[in-house]
Amino acid sequence: MRNPDFKAELRAYLLGFGLALALTVVPFAVVVFGPGTQGLAIILITLCALAQLVVQLRYFLHLDLSEQKREDLHLVLFTVLLLGIMSIGTIWILGNLAIRM
Amino acid sequence: MSGEAQTSWLGRLNIDSLSIWRAIENPSVSEFVGAGAALVAIFGGIGALVLITWLRAWGTLWRDWLTSTDHKKIGVMYCVLALVMLLRGVIEGVVMRTQQAFGMGGGFLAPEHFSELFSTHGTIMIFFVAMPFIIGITNYVMPLQLGARDMSFPVLNQISLALTATGAALVMISLVLGEFATGGWTNYPPYTGKDFQPGPGPDYWIWAIVLSGLGTTLTGINFAVTLYKERAPGMTLFRMPIFCWTVLCASIVMIFALPPLTLAALMLAADRYLDFHFFTNDLGGNMMNYVNLFWLFGHPEVYLLVIPAYGVFSEVVPTFSGKRLYGYNSMVYATMAIAVLSFCVWLHHFFTMGQSANVNIAFGIASMAIAVPTGVKIYNWVATMYRARIRMTVPMIYATGFFFLFTIGGLTGVMLANPVISYQVHNTLFLVAHFHNVLIPGVLFGIFAGYHFWFPKVFGFRLEERWGKRAACLWVVGFCFTFLPLYALGLMGMPRRSVMWDDPAFQPFMWLALVGALTILSAVTALGIQLWVSVRNRAATACPLGDPWNGRTLEWSIPSPPPPYNFAQVPQVRTRDDFTDAKATGRAYQPLSAYEDIEMPRNTAIGMIVLIGSTLLGLALIFWIWWLAIVSVGVMLTALIGRTFWLNTTYTIPAEEIARDHQAWLAEVHAAQRITRAEETQAANRGRAALELPQGVSV
Amino acid sequence: MTQPNAKLHPGLNLGHHHGEAHNQAETVVFGFWVFLMSDLILFGLTFASYITLANNMGMASGPTPADIIDLVNVFAQTVLLLVSSLTFGVASLTMRHKMPAKVTIAWLGLSLVLGLAFLGLAALDFLNMANQGAVPSRSGYLSGLWSLVGLHAVHVTAGCFWIMIMIAQIAVLGLHPIVKSRVLRLGLFWHFLDIVWIGIFSIVYLGGLL
Ligand code: HEM
Ligand SMILES: [Cu+2]
């Protein structure tokens, strides 16, 4: 039974939690205290959201690139591809229509 | 939406909801056609109940079919559902063609009635004929081709069927109660919003689509997981039959393209029921959002339908050519490419909505690109047939018709993918001709080819050849007469969905199309006769040994009909077209050294509970009977959750029983005469094929 | 085919020491991932629709984000959901390490309470908006906002019911293999909802205020 012991795993969860919390506080702070320009704020919020996405996938959903069987990775990447096509396409098309209205 | 209707305990359901009552109150030809259809639906339903009672079949029906979790039974039920709905869809098509043939300046149908007809026809043909048929065939065939015992989630499979049947039932009930939407199969708002259509029509569409769509998504998940997790040992992805690959692509569409449709329908429901403003004209709604979401689903959907049809042809053509498929790998890549590309082209359904030329051209180019992988496929099939000893059986007639006609449909598709041309012919009968040109020779012919091909596997006897050939030829001819004239009419400027017209130049084409529609009707009749004749003569065409066509894949290596557990022992796969290889190398029909007990899922009534519950739920929502909605949801949830506390969901088939059946079958196989391909359609063919390879061609 | 300690599916694995349960979980957990991906598309397109409505035209001279967003409440909701993700993670760990069922139930119960608290705050938020006249029938933008946040809330509600059912099942059936596999899937669902929430607070609330 080569199971990593309970404490170590718990610590990983706590680490993930801490990171996620930090990545939540930062964007809220940016909006509340409003330092810098709007463009900067948008970039910060986006980066924090993406980082938190990775953190949660890694520490809570245990999705990593190493031990996965290929098919699971296929699934997730494929979904992201399709979602990207669909949502970016939607925003592009309707944005274009809005401009031309 | 009158006040008193809302206070009744039956919501807004009242005597005027009965279409028969409406016909009595204000008689007209149009109302009589509607009432007649209602009567047919009612008497059809009652007739079926009486027949079942008379045959004393309730017990069998319940035990062997309705509560079964066997993928084979479920597949057959899907196909039966689709056949029934096909009948209605074709009749509606013929009625519309008749109306238009006499439509110069009038005709006999009221405009709303005509609109209801094309709306139900389109909805039924896509969602309740083509999809359940494809799903049914897949359900039956795919696990057998993979060497699996069942789907990954047998109970979920049953529930999916129930949800699909719910949608179909709602569309059928709309004949009798209330009326169906008049907004076409696309149901575009704001026309279908509550300002313009306050009645139950669009709600029928919404709930039929949402409920059956949920079933389809679940089916997609089931297919995909089965493909990934249930393959027999040795069956790598690249040893799967092409049909399984096409199912993988179809399930991708079911999983990822159904959500936009569900979402669009639910948003429309929010607009109609809760006064939201997604798609309204006022207060910041944007109906173009709906169009976009609908076609995010709509385009992948047509590939959901046609790709498995390609898969069927990829099984039929090699089998009846006696050769392996030409270019397996290119076929796989072409299929995958089509699946992904199909998510990149949805805008070609609304080139004229007003976006800039740059947006249009991007999607136009992507659309034209699909022709490339499709062309690869056509060449692969043709190359498979090249210098082969082809047997012109019924499936091959459909395949041949498909090659010629589908190519025409595909080419007009490339024309329509050009925004400049689309601006000229959009919303005309040219478009109607195009999509029937891909849907009938593509999807429907594929389905019929599969039906003839696998029928002996399912029921243990072959379909009668002569009536089959007649039906196939009638379909091909009927299709040409019905739909090719519509190209001309479209170019002459006749709009689609027109109840009447006034240019005398249209008339000759209208007559031609009517003749074609009647030919199609006779083709359907011929299919019915064929089934009747085949059942009557089933002793003469029995092929219980399982391999009537000298098949190539695993489903032919077991008895017909297969036992509940499919394979006495899960096969060990060595190559592509494993059964052909097994027959050539003597691996086939070997006795087993040991048999094991097999655990199979038990029957369950959960599907029937979901069917009844969700049908009532749909009606409750359509007619605002809120208490019924709550009760039906409560019952379904209680049943579904309660069932999860029940752990005893499987039963065991003892090894002795399996051994007895398997050995008896093997003895029969070894005793049987080996049939050459020349005798394929004769009574001697009991399903044991002689090994025949074309000269100079390896397995 | 599978090595002794290989992960059979993405997400927390029961681990080899759970024997049959570990192997049986493979297919169902994979199936559940596929379902989540389908659900992700549903959420993603709801986001896209929201974005197309969150502009001047969609607001139809009605309330704007600045009028209706209560950032303190949103922050509290965010933290509650995040903490419940952590407690759920601990619940799964106690199960993976075969601690007594009572312990697992306790952690599940804690996650449930946090989930319910989240829903309570969300309801409060909706109520406040409604009192300001910011109801979905006011504008396309508000329709989009209510339905996106509402879709998430409906999912959380379903998750809460599911936790209750799992607590009942552990109590009645014990940690039967199938029960364990259900808890695993519930965990995926719960964490998935937290991930969707990242999108909601970033795009709808923070993005809306900018
Ligand atoms: C079998 C013989 C069939 C006949 C005679 C027929 C006839 C028609 C007619 C007359 C229309 C209305 C055209 C118009 O807008 O003016 C129509 C529409 C349509 N048909 Fe068919 N059809 C047949 C088969 C099919 C099949 C097999 C499918 C799909 C699998 C199909 C799908 C549709 C759809 C989607 C529409 C569009 C409905 C709408 O306008 O919203 N049809 N058909
Ligand atoms: Cu298309």
What is the per-residue pLDDT across B63-92, written as a single tens digit (0 to 9) for each? 999 999 999 999 999 999 999 999 999 999
pLDDT in tens, B115-159: 999 999 999 999 999 999 999 999 999 999 999 999 999 999 999
Residue range B552-569: average pLDDT? 95
Chain C residues within 8 A of B255 when measuring between CB atoms: 34, 37-38
- Out of B228, B288, B347, closest to residue A71 by CB: B228
pLDDT in tens, B437-495: 999 999 999 999 999 999 999 999 999 999 999 999 999 999 999 999 999 999 999 99
pLDDT reported for residue B245: 96
Contact (CB<8Å) A97/B353: yes
Neighbours of chain A (3+ CB pairs under 8 A): B, C
Tokens of B10: 């039956």
Residue nearest to atom 23 of ligand 1 (CA): B93
Q: What is the spatial distance between Cα B482 and Cα B474, in angstroms, rounded to a whole number?
A: 12
CA of B164 to the centre of ligand 1 (A): 21
Nearest ligand by distance to the CA of B306: 1
CA of B294 to the centre of ligand 2 (A): 11
Residue range C27-47: average pLDDT? 94
Is A80 near chain B, with CB under 8 Å?
A: no
Residue B266 confidence class, pLDDT cut points 50, 70, 90: very high
Reduced to 3 states (helix: H, G, I; strand: E, B; else coil), residue B435 is helix
Question: What is the ipTM metric for this complex?
Answer: 0.93
Q: What is the spatial distance between Cα C70 and Cα C67, in angstroms, rounded to a whole number?
A: 9
Tell me the nearest-neighbour CA distance from A5 into chain B, angstroms.
Answer: 30
Provide the residue type at B351 as one letter: F
Instruction: Report whether B287 contacts C58 (CB < 8 A).
Output: no
Provide the residue type at A41 as one letter: A
Tokens of C68: 């209706």
Q: What is the spatial distance between Cα B81 and Cα B133, in angstroms, rounded to a whole number?
A: 8
Tell me which residues of chain C, numbers 136 to 195, contact chain A at a CB-CB cutoff of 8 Å. 188, 191-192, 194-195
Instruction: Report whether B446 contacts B306 (CB < 8 A).
Output: yes
Average pLDDT of chain A, as a whole number: 86
Is A8 near chain B, with CB under 8 Å?
A: no
pLDDT reported for residue B698: 54
What secondary structure does DSSP assign to A40-79, as a single string? Answer: HHHHHHHHHHHHHHHHHHHHTS---SSS--HHHHHHHHHH
Residue nearest to atom 34 of ligand 1 (CA): B122
- Out of B228, B346, B355, closest to residue A97 by CB: B355
Q: What is the percent of chain A with per-residue pLDDT over 90, rounded to a whole number?
A: 51
pLDDT reported for residue C2: 39
Q: Is B688 in the pocket of ligand 1 (CB under 6 A)?
A: no
Q: Which domains are assigned to chain C?
A: 16-209 (1.20.120.80)
- Out of A3, A52, A87, closest to residue C17 by CB: A3
Report whether pLDDT(A1) > 50: no
- Cα B35 to its chain centre, rounded Å, is 28
Residue range A24-36: average pLDDT? 87
Instruction: Report whether B351 contacts B360 (CB < 8 A).
Output: yes
Q: Is B440 in the pocket of ligand 1 (CB under 6 A)?
A: yes
Tokens of B491: 């170019």
Is B286 near chain A, with CB under 8 Å?
A: yes
Report whether pLDDT(B387) > 70: yes
Residue A69 confidence class, pLDDT cut points 50, 70, 90: low
pLDDT reported for residue B19: 84
* Residue C199 DSSP label: H
Pocket test residue of B118, B437, B492, B521 for ligand 1, highest count of atoms within 8 A of CB:
B118
- Out of C45, C143, C176, closest to residue B270 by CB: C143
Q: Which residue has the tokens 């998750």?
A: C159
Q: Which residue has the tokens 């026809």?
A: B121
- Out of A82, A93, A101, closest to residue B256 by CB: A82
Residue C19 confidence class, pLDDT cut points 50, 70, 90: low
What secondary structure does DSSP assign to B18-42, as a single string? Answer: BHHHHHHHS--HHHHHHHHHHHHHH
Question: What's phi and psi for B104, nearest 5 deg?
Answer: -65, 110
Report whether pLDDT(C154) > 70: yes
pLDDT reported for residue A71: 66
Tell me the nearest-neighbour CA distance from A69 into chain C, angstroms.
Answer: 7
- Cα→Cα distances B441→B204, B312, B398, B447, Å: 30, 13, 8, 10
Is A46 near chain B, with CB under 8 Å?
A: no
For residue B529, the tally of other CB atoms under 10 A from its CB is: 14
Q: What is the spatial distance between Cα B323 and Cα B694, in angstroms, rounded to a whole number?
A: 7
Residue B3 confidence class, pLDDT cut points 50, 70, 90: very low
Tokens of B33: 């056609």
pLDDT reported for residue C22: 67
Is C75 near chain A, with CB under 8 Å?
A: yes
pLDDT reported for residue C16: 65
Reduced to 3 states (helix: H, G, I; strand: E, B; else coil), residue B458 is helix
* Residue B685 DSSP label: -
Residue from A97, A100, A101 whose CB has the most chain B CBs within 10 Å, to mutate: A97
Contact (CB<8Å) A21/C191: no
Q: B236: burial class by Cβ within 10 Å (0-12, 13-18, 19+)?
A: exposed
Contact (CB<8Å) C206/A27: yes
H-helix or E-strand spanning residue B600: strand B598-601
Nearest ligand by distance to the CA of B301: 2
Q: What is the spatial distance between Cα B220 and Cα B408, in angstroms, rounded to a whole number?
A: 30
Report whether pLDDT(B619) > 90: yes
**End-to-end Cα distance, chain A:** 66
pLDDT reported for residue C1: 35
Is B273 near chain A, with CB under 8 Å?
A: no
Residue in chain A nearest C75 by alpha carbon: A28
Question: Strands, DSSP E only, in B639-688?
Answer: 650-653
DSSP strand pairing (B598-601 vs B650-653): antiparallel
pLDDT reported for residue A68: 53
Better pLDDT: C190 or A58: C190
pLDDT reported for residue B646: 87
Backbone torsion region of residue B482, taken as left when φ is above 0, otherwise alpha when ψ lies between -120 and 50, otherwise beta = alpha
Instruction: Report whether C41 contacts B259 (CB < 8 A).
Output: yes
- Cα→Cα distances B84→B60, B506, B608, Å: 21, 33, 19
Q: What is the spatial distance between Cα B158 and Cα B143, in angstroms, rounded to a whole number?
A: 15
What secondary structure does DSSP assign to B350-392, as a single string? Answer: -GGGS--HHHHHHHHHHHHHTHHHHHHHHHHHHHHHTT-----
Residue nearest to atom 8 of ligand 1 (CA): B93
Average pLDDT of chain B, as a whole number: 93
pLDDT reported for residue B4: 45
pLDDT reported for residue B648: 83
Q: Residues near A39 by Cβ (< 8 Å), separated by ≥ 6?
A: none
Q: Is B126 in the pocket of ligand 1 (CB under 6 A)?
A: yes
Where exactly are the structural domains of chain A?
1-62, 65-101
Q: Which residue has the tokens 């996620």?
A: A20
Neighbours of chain B (3+ CB pairs under 8 A): A, C
CA of C47 to the centre of ligand 2 (A): 24
Chain A residues within 8 A of B253 when measuring between CB atoms: none
Report whether pLDDT(B5) > 50: no
Instruction: Report whether B70 contacts B143 (CB < 8 A).
Output: no
pLDDT reported for residue C23: 64
Report whether pLDDT(C142) > 70: yes
- Out of B221, B270, B286, closest to residue C53 by CB: B286
Residue range B293-306: average pLDDT? 96
Q: What is the percent of chain B with per-residue pLDDT over 70, rounded to a whole number?
A: 98
pLDDT reported for residue B13: 86
Pocket test residue of B86, B96, B121 for ligand 1, highest count of atoms within 8 A of CB:
B121
Contact (CB<8Å) B355/A82: no
- Cα B415 to its chain centre, rounded Å, is 27
Report whether pLDDT(C210) > 50: yes
